[in-house]
Amino acid sequence: MNSVLVESLDHEGRGIARSDGKTIFIEGALPGERVEFLSHRRKPTFEQATMSALLRASPLRCAPRCPHFGVCGGCSMQHLDTSAQVAVKQRVLENALWHLARVRAEVIYPALHGPDWGYRFRARLGVIQVPGETGVLVGFHEKKSSYIADMQRCEILPPALSRLLVPLRGLIAGLSIANRIPQIEVAVGEEKTVLVLRNLLPFTQADIRHVLAFGEAWGMRMWYQPGGPDTARPFDQDETPWLTYSLPEFDVRLKFKPTDFTQVNIPINRALMHRAMQLLDPRPGERIADLFCGLGNFSLPIAARGARVHGVEGSAALTARAAENARDNGLGERCRFSVANLFEATPASLARLGPLDKMLIDPPRDGAIAVCKALDDSAPRRIVYVSCNPATLARDSGVLVGEKGYRLRGAGVANMFPQTSHVESIALFERD
Ligand SMILES: C[S@@+](CC[C@H](N)C(=O)[O-])C[C@H]1O[C@@H](n2cnc3c(N)ncnc32)[C@H](O)[C@@H]1O
């Protein structure tokens, strides 16, 4: 079998090599390594493969900490030293900007680092009842499959949650509706950790006793969710129906529900917020839009710096939570929130936000192409763009720089999801 030299990594953490004029994407291989591979997909110009033999290892290769590495679809970069992972992510960002949009950042910001392990303060665990001895599985999906991995622990969950993966199997197996619980949402707040059981059928009284005893034994607050995310509530009716996290630098505390969108990595969220506010530099009297504002994660720090903020978001439940968060933190007068589908933004809909000094954009993976295209001559001079997908950030940068006259003043990554190939980044655009 031919061996190849791996040249770089792609955005999914696969090694890239060339062989017979084709590009080969090799799972498990690292740059600088000489490997043999087995192809599982062959196309005229490329092949997808897995590494079958490692002939020369990279000095950056390390032993994966997790016993489920290679099976669980969660953390595909554990075999690479964590600081090298960050360098790879930075290169993924720069490559996306250049290859997809012919844009280069004037400055590359130093990467933001947080904890390498135990950082996932929010997660959705899959649950399945399987025939045979295993009974019930609780965990993340296997690689490229809808099966739930047979996991005993998870190194990126906080230890108090990781150790529950096996006991949760027993809990679910003992319920009358064991095969009607497809997922468990976990969320860590400052005062408590919540486990939300998504139930497709009602619990019996015996089930409820069983669930509450489990929560008591493991120090967890137990919730159920009979319908959509808004139906999640505590089994214990006296419990406050929310969790909180705080951003001490801005002296704000935000309420959230375990099913709300919140950034999963709280320490990195704080670092990202610090960087975002440095770049945005909100000043008293300024008017700033926070697009895709969620429950006010960026809006409240902007208002805490003295600016007036108008948050826009697609979910009415989240804008309501954002408004409540602003009031609770004494920032209600400087904050306004409205609901809109920003994928359909137009110059007219943006004009309704009034004159703006600055803008922060934090879209989902699909990016913010409609917003970028809708910016006209009256658009703010400074835009801070927080992105969870370098490809859509690059595409949108192409519009901002190529069509709207902005300069990409700087860009950098935040290691929000260590051990995985996900790339979170932040960019600053300015125009005269
Ligand atoms: C990456 S999250 C950011 C949330 C918030 N900025 C934060 O830091 O917590 C993206 C947000 O975009 C919202 N969203 C998704 N699609 C949308 C759309 N078409 N129009 C407006 N908001 C949308 C989601 O509800 C979510 O709150």
The pLDDT tens digits of the residues spanning 372-423 come to: 999 999 999 999 999 999 999 999 999 999 999 999 999 999 999 999 999 9
Confidence of residue 146 (pLDDT cuts 50, 70, 90): confident
Give the list of residues 6+ apart from residue 255 with CB closer than 8 angstroms, or none: 242, 243, 244, 295, 321, 324, 325, 328
CATH number for the domain that contains residue 38: 2.40.50.140
* Pair 412, 389 in one domain: yes
Residue 153 lies in a domain: yes
Pocket of ligand 1 contains residue 343 by CB under 6 Å:
yes
Confidence of residue 262 (pLDDT cuts 50, 70, 90): very high
* Pair 189, 301 in one domain: no
Distance of CA 348 to the CA centre of its chain: 31
CA-to-CA separations, 352 to 158, 291, 298, 326, in angstroms, rounded? 43, 13, 21, 21
- CA-CA distance, 163 to 259, in Å (whole number)? 22
Pocket of ligand 1 contains residue 261 by CB under 6 Å:
yes
CATH number for the domain that contains residue 426: 3.40.50.150
Q: pLDDT: is 10 or 430 the higher one?
A: 430
CA dihedral sign of residues 414, 417, 418, 420: negative
Nearest CA to ligand 1 atom 11: 292
Nearest CA to ligand 1 atom 12: 292
Active site residue 388: yes
* Pair 222, 304 in one domain: no
* Pair 420, 298 in one domain: yes
pLDDT at 1: 66
pLDDT at 12: 81
Rounded to a whole number of angstroms, the CA Rg of the chain reads 23
**144 pLDDT higher than 90:** no
**165 pLDDT higher than 80:** yes
* Pair 335, 269 in one domain: yes
Catalytic-role residue among 66, 335, 372, 388: 388
For ligand 1, the distance from its centroid to the CA atom of residue 310, given in whole angstroms, is 14
For ligand 1, the distance from its centroid to the CA atom of residue 240, given in whole angstroms, is 25
Q: What's the half-sphere exposure (Cβ side, CA atoms, 13 Å) at 232?
A: 26
Number of domains in the chain: 3
**222 pLDDT higher than 70:** yes
Evaluate whether 410 touches 401 at the Cβ level (below 8 Å).
Answer: no
Kindly give the interhelix angle for 165-173 and 205-218, rounded to the nearest 10 degrees. 160
Pocket of ligand 1 contains residue 298 by CB under 6 Å:
yes
Q: Which domain holds residue 398?
A: 88-115+265-430
SS3 content of the chain, % helix, strand, coil (to 5): 30, 30, 40
Q: What percentage of the chain carries pLDDT values higher than 90?
A: 92
- CA-CA distance, 344 to 339, in Å (whole number)? 12
Residue 330 lies in a domain: yes
